[in-house]
C-alpha cells in the first residue's frame, strides 16, 4: 500500500494506483494505516476531483477511507484543516453530479452515519458547510433511496434553515417508490420535519391510498395528522365523507379531533361538522367505516374531544356491536399499542359518564380493556 500512496503523491500511474488503493482499503486494518497519510493525500485528491478520468476512483478511495473508521471521519470533518475544507467545497460547488458520480458521493456521505460514535458531530459539521444544498439539486425519484437516510440524519440533528424548509416542502412532490418499508419510512420521517401546512397534509393523503406497505401507510397517516394546520379542518371533514381508505379516514378524523382544544373551538368544530356533513352522519360514517388496522383506531381521539350527551346516546343505541368490535381489537393488540389502549379507556369512560351502557357492553369492555 505504501507504494500506491507514493505513486499518488508523485503523480505516477495515478489511475491504476487509485484503483488498487481502493481495493486495499476494503481491508479495515489498512484504513488505520492510511490515517497518517491523509494530510498529504487530501490535497492530491482535491486536484484529482478536477480531472474527469480520476473522479470516480478518487471518490471510491474516499468511501473506503471513511468506512467504519471514526479516526478518518474525524479528520475529514476538521474545520481547521484547509485541505479538508477545500475537499468539501469542491464536492459542493465544483463537482458535476452525473449518475455515477452521484452514486459514489451518496455512498461517501452515508459512511458518516453508520457504525460511529460521533454521528452528531459529523452531522453538525456537514450541515454547517451547507453540503445538503448540493444534494437537494441532485435528488431524483430514483436516487432518493441512496441518500434519503443521510439527509434525515443531517436535518433531524440540526436547526432547519430556510433552504432546508424549502426542500422539505418540495419533497412531498417526489414520486419515489415508498412501497418498501425501510425507504418509505425514511421518506415519511423526512416529511415529518416540515412545519404544519395544509398543502402538505392534502398531498400526504393522496400518497396513502396507492401505498402498498401497511407500515408506511401507518406512518403516512400519523404524518398527515401531525402536519395539518387550521385550514385542514374543512378538508378533513370533506375527505372523511368521500374516502374509502381506512388510513385516510383515520388521519382526517384525528385532524378533526385535534381542532378542539377548548370550549370555543369545540363549538366551532361541532358547528362546522354539522354544516358540512351533519354530526350524526359523521357518527354513522365513523362506525360504519371498515377498520382494518389497530393503528387506525387512534382516530377515536375524534370522539374523545367531540362527544356530547346526544352523540353518546346515538353511539350506544346504534353501534353497540361496533363498540364491542373496537374493544376486542384493542384488547387483542393493547400490549403492542398501549397508547391506543389508553385512548380507548378514556373514550369509554367519557361514554359511560354521558349515557347508560347496556350491561353486556360494560362487561365486554371491562374484560377487554380494564382487566389485566
Helix H, strand E, coil C: the string for 27-69 is CHHHHHHHHHHHHHHHHHHHHHCCCHHHHHHHHHHHHHHHCCC
What is the reported pLDDT for 16? 94
So what's the pLDDT on residue 292? Answer: 77
Q: Considering only CA atoms, which of 329, 349, 256, 342 is closest in space to residue 299?
A: 256
Largest CA distance in the chain: 89
Q: 298-320: string of b/e by CB count within 10 Å (b at 16+)? A: bbbbbbbbbbeeebbebbbeebb
Q: Would you say residue 195 has pLDDT above 90?
A: yes
Asked if 327 contacts 315 with a C-beta cutoff of 8 angstroms, the reply is no
Confidence class of residue 223 from pLDDT cuts 50, 70 and 90?
A: very high
Give the whole-angstrom CA distance, residue 11 versus residue 353. Answer: 83
Enumerate helices (H) and strands (E) in the chain, giving the number of each.
Answer: 24, 0
CB 70 within 8 A of CB 43: no
DSSP-assigned states of every residue in 86-132:
HHHHHHHHT----HHHHHHHHHHHHTTTSS-S-HHHHHHHHHHTTTH
Mean pLDDT along residues 226-250: 96
pLDDT over 90 (residue 25):
yes
Domain 1-171, architecture per CATH: Alpha Horseshoe (1.25)
Q: Give the torsion sign (CA, 337, 239, 309, 322).
A: negative
Least confident stretch, 100-114, 123-137, 259-273, 289-303:
289-303
pLDDT of 372 over the 70 cut = no
Q: Which grid cell sits at 49?
A: 476531483
Quick one: average pLDDT of 259-285? Answer: 96
Q: What is the pLDDT of residues 62-85, one digit of tens each?
A: 999 999 999 999 999 999 999 999
Q: With beta carbons less than 8 A apart as the criterion, state whether 280 and 314 touch.
A: yes
For the question of whether the overall pTM of this predicted structure is more than 0.85, the answer is: yes
The pLDDT of residue 291: 77
Tell me the C-alpha distance between 94 and 189, whole Å: 30
- Tens of pLDDT, residues 125-144: 999 999 999 999 999 999 99
Q: Average of pLDDT values for 8-16?
A: 91
Which residue from 277, 282, 291, 281 is spatially nearest to 321, judged by alpha carbons?
Answer: 291
What number is the average pLDDT over the span 305-322?
Answer: 96
* CB 235, CB 251: distance < 8 Å: no
Q: What is the mean pLDDT of residues 232-247?
A: 95
Amino acid at each position: 500500500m505504501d507504494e500506491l500512496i507514493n505513486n499518488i503523491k508523485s503523480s505516477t500511474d495515478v489511475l491504476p494506483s487509485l484503483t488498487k488503493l481502493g481495493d486495499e482499503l476494503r481491508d479495515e486494518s489498512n484504513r488505520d494505516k492510511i490515517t497518517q497519510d491523509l494530510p498529504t493525500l487530501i490535497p492530491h485528491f482535491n486536484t484529482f476531483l478536477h480531472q474527469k478520468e480520476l473522479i470516480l476512483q478518487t471518490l471510491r478511495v474516499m468511501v473506503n477511507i471513511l468506512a467504519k473508521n471514526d479516526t478518518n471521519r474525524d479528520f475529514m470533518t476538521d474545520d481547521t484543516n484547509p485541505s479538508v475544507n477545500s475537499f468539501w467545497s469542491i464536492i459542493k460547488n465544483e463537482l458535476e453530479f452525473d449518475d455515477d458520480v452521484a452514486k459514489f458521493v451518496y455512498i461517501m456521505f452515508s459512511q458518516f452515519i453508520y457504525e460511529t460514535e460521533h454521528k452528531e458531530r459529523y452531522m453538525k459539521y456537514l450541515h454547517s458547510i451547507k453540503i445538503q444544498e448540493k444534494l437537494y439539486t441532485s435528488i431524483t425519484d430514483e436516487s432518493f433511496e441512496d441518500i434519503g437516510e443521510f439527509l434525515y440524519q443531517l436535518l433531524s440533528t440540526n436547526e432547519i434553515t430556510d433552504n432546508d424548509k424549502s426542500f422539505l416542502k418540495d419533497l412531498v412532490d417526489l414520486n419515489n417508490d415508498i412501497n418498501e418499508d425501510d425507504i418509505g419510512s425514511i421518506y415519511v420521517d423526512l416529511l415529518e420535519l416540515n412545519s404544519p401546512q395544509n398543502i402538505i397534509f392534502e398531498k400526504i393523503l393522496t400518497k396513502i391510498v396507492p401505498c402498498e406497505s401497511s407500515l408506511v401507510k401507518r406512518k403516512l397517516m400519523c404524518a398527515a395528522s401531525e402536519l395539518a394546520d387550521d385550514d385542514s379542518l374543512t378538508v378533513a371533514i370533506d375527505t372523511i365523507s368521500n374516502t374509502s381508505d381506512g388510513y385516510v379516514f383515520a388521519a382526517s378524523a384525528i385532524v378533526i379531533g385535534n381542532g378542539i382544544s377548548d370550549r370555543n373551538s369545540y363549538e366551532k368544530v361541532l358547528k362546522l361538522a354539522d354544516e358540512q356533513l351533519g354530526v350524526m352522519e359523521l357518527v354513522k360514517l365513523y362506525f360504519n367505516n371498515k377498520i382494518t388496522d389497530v393503528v387506525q383506531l387512534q382516530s377515536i381521539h375524534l370522539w374523545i374531544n367531540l362527544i356530547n350527551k346526544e352523540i353518546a346516546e346515538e353511539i350506544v343505541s346504534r353501534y353497540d356491536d361496533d363498540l364491542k368490535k373496537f374493544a376486542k381489537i384493542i384488547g387483542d393488540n393493547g400490549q403492542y399499542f398501549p397508547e391506543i389502549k389508553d385512548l380507548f379507556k378514556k373514550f369509554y369512560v367519557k361514554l359511560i359518564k354521558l349515557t347508560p351502557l347496556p350491561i353486556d357492553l360494560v362487561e365486554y369492555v371491562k374484560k377487554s380493556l380494564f382487566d389485566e
